[in-house]
Structure 1
């Protein structure tokens, strides 16, 4: 099962329908409240402050410390699929840069993502179904290392790619210490059979419990409740992932950089972990509260752009600019949007991106400011929205980005500055249409910072600015797609069913949305995937991988399914015709219901 099987229920819990949010401020407010459940927990399940979770964090911190102290013979690998893999890449790059800036420390973090580096920018979900590939690439990456701290990230405990790697770790515990990060209780781990494998995610993850009892593994799975958009782990799940990874490295680096008492003092370590978690809570609560109106105005502008067949562009530099690319990469698989609808561009292109495979080739994948200038700048219209991410860090000596932003402001596009501190550049901000200043009140956090050395304090501040920027970009792109009709009753009803996990997720969404049986939902989805009112025996009995392959270029699979099941006597032809006239599923459904 996914982390999305829970239903909103109970007094005092967050409850809303984002698909009919009455105003843009509601979208900001409700997503923010949902994010805070990372810290408050969900119902009676273990939360991030539970003793077992804190102990697993401490155990992982201890192992990370050992890697940082002996980087020649050991390494730390973060691995995942989609958003999880992108965040593993992002954090590994961030930590390596920090290590290289410190005297006597060596970069020793690495990453794996299902589909390889192209998956950092484009969705390649089919690779997520391959546990044998996951095992193979992990083995190749770590072949020369004597000790490996492996952190596998799968928010719904549902990625076979990660499960295959953890299975490999469990069979080689003399070399590997596996850590599982996810946000479901283990009994809800995905238990569907995986093609060409004799195990399931659930069987592998449950085996970790025995290894954990012997201090040979750690399971970090605080239950944080449903996502604001059911089925998408890019928001709350992604934010919780980054919080956990940041805290692990902040505390372990604190030990390595000179706090010799910490490695043997669990109570001191746990106290530091709690301080850090509370800082993240305060930032994720405070910024949306103070900047709700500003964020809402940008959501409105971005939504109007997408509804007018325009675009949402992110421009930026360094780590804050990278978050724009990550946010953009998540929109096609989540909302069924076109790759060009939401794009991110980075000063320095792939040389700044820092991925292992380097330049990923053709112009469609070019992420440089030069590419934006060549292919997009001259075509900007009033239907486009352009956001300068981390505008307060852009200086006149950042000539490429600085100059292109001056040209963007001369166009009819809506321009937005997303600043990350109070000291904004008047040259950058002058003449823009909208601004969001994600100013963090550092004075309120000083008491949490005192124990850290100065360089690590700055790293923590950078991490907090990153988490606030990620949250804000998620709100903007999510809100824009809500306004475009890509969300129905909090379900992402235009996701692409591009792998085994998403095929079953699609069935789950239809079952919950329409109250039909799994068999009925599956049959209607197959009718939509094959665009046939009557399926052949070969089609109904084919492997899921064959369904996915045949329907790889079929759009609006779930919207068509909803109309087929929700409207008596609806045919494929009638559903497609209605969706052509009324692209928003809510409007299409209401229109057909009247006839």
Structure 2
């Protein structure tokens, strides 16, 4: 019997021939086949590096102009956007308003499904009005299937309000998307192990993409020196320890010296590094960093001249 062709053109809704009989497999076989499918995620994201680079540059430009990055999604896509946004303040010392996640159905939808929330373009648009989206902002929509009305409603309204717009999907984009949105990232991970379960490969691809955009932008903003997160804030014991270890390693200090420098720098690793290397007080070091857009390497180049 010849299989019928797919009834839905979206990759996220098609059946995966490799898992057609997965319900008959052992636990080990299930684990193996899921892992085999997961191997396809990173290459799919890797095929979108040019678009990812554009998104990083847009985010960097947004932040340098004092604008905000908003992730907008529903279900898994929305949850991953909120997750990525929430991790920025402790990791890079950012203002919580700088990167925000918006999920269809509101924060209730983080823990419980809010049926039908993703179906309203009007609600997505209204959220852009409530956030007072403007020309300095960057709104990045996430919809694995490419068709979520809430997300497209938000992006349409954001564009009307003058914001830059980006879109992530895990199926082939329609022509109008690349014509309308400023950047489109299509991570073609293929059909899911369980048909339509986009919390799997599509969800993994989404996390990779969002992590890359924000991490790339933070690096460009000077919040990383070498590969160290030097703009973290010592707000708990783990981060206090990491902050002290960074100063010990980069400045060849003992633990008590690193702790004292961190206190003198107001808990800022970056300021402490500049103060130590240049001999400046905290205010002068802060002014030096401001002149270089927050990039420690550029401060040191200036000192060497």
Please say whether Structure 1 and Structure 2 have the same fold, judged by a TM-score greater than 0.5: yes
- Report what 1:216 is aligned to: none
The aligned counterpart of 2:100 is: 343
Are the aligned partners of 2:166 and 2:183 in contact in 1 as well (CA < 8 Å)?
Answer: yes
The equivalent of 2:277 in structure 1 is 566
Q: Distance in 2 between matches of 1:369 and 1:406?
A: 7
- Distance 1:577-1:289 versus aligned 2 partners, 3 A rule: closer
Q: Distance in 1 between matches of 2:218 and 2:127?
A: 25
Cα displacement (A) at 1:370: 3.9
Higher relative contact order (CA 8 A, sep 6+): 2
Partner Cα distance (2:127, 2:62) in 1: 21
Matches within 5 A, 1:241-256: none
* Structure-2 separation of matches of 1:458 and 1:347: 19
1:409 equivalenced with 2:163 (yes/no): no
- 2:138 is equivalent to residue 388 of structure 1: no
Q: How does 1:74-473 map to 2 (within 5 A)?
A: 262=26, 269-284=27-42, 286-354=43-111, 370-377=126-133, 380-381=134-135, 383-390=136-143, 392-395=145-148, 398=149, 400-422=150-172, 424-425=173-174, 430-442=179-191, 456-459=194-197, 461-473=198-210
1:520 aligned residue? 257
Summarize deviations over 1:478-532 as a string: whole Å, max 9, x none.
1111111111111110001000111011011112222322232122112212xxx
Out of 224, 229, 247, the residue aligned to residue 510 of structure 1 is: 247
Separation of aligned partners in 2, 1:522 and 1:484: 25
Deviation of 1:279 after TM superposition, in Å, equals 2.2
Deviation string for 1:77-132 (max 9, x for gaps)?
xxxxxxxxxxxxxxxxxxxxxxxxxxxxxxxxxxxxxxxxxxxxxxxxxxxxxxxx
Which structure has the bigger radius of gyration? 1
Contact 1:302 1:476 in 2 (8 A): yes
Q: Does the CA contact (< 8 Å) of 1:305 and 1:385 recur in 2?
A: yes
Whether the 8 Å CA contact 1:418–1:437 is kept in 2: the answer is yes
Cα distance in 1, alignment partners of residues 131 and 49 from structure 2: 33
Q: Does 1:478 align with 2:215?
A: yes
Q: Measured at CA, do residues 355 and 560 of structure 1 come closer, stay the same or move farther in structure 2, by a change above 3 Å?
A: farther
Give distance in 1, aligned partners of 2:188 and 2:160. 27
Would you say 1:590 and 2:297 are equivalent positions?
no
Cα drift, residue 427 of structure 1:
5.8
| Ranges in structure 2 where 5+ consecutive residues have no aligned partner | 1-21, 115-122
| TM score, norm. by length of structure 2 | 0.80
Q: Which runs of 5+ in 1 are unaligned?
A: 1-253, 263-268, 359-366, 450-455, 530-550, 552-556
**CA distance change for structure 1 residues 433 and 521 in 2, over 3 Å: closer, same or farther?**
same
1:476: how far off?
Answer: 0.5
Distance 1:504 1:368, change over 3 A: farther
Contact 1:295 1:436 in 2 (8 A): yes
Deviation at 1:275, TM superposition (A): 3.0
Tell whether the 8 Å contact from 1:315 to 1:324 is kept in structure 2 after alignment: yes
Q: For 1:426 and 1:374, how far apart are their aligned partners in 2?
A: 30
Do the aligned residues in 2 keep the contact of 1:316 with 1:347 (CA within 8 Å)?
A: yes
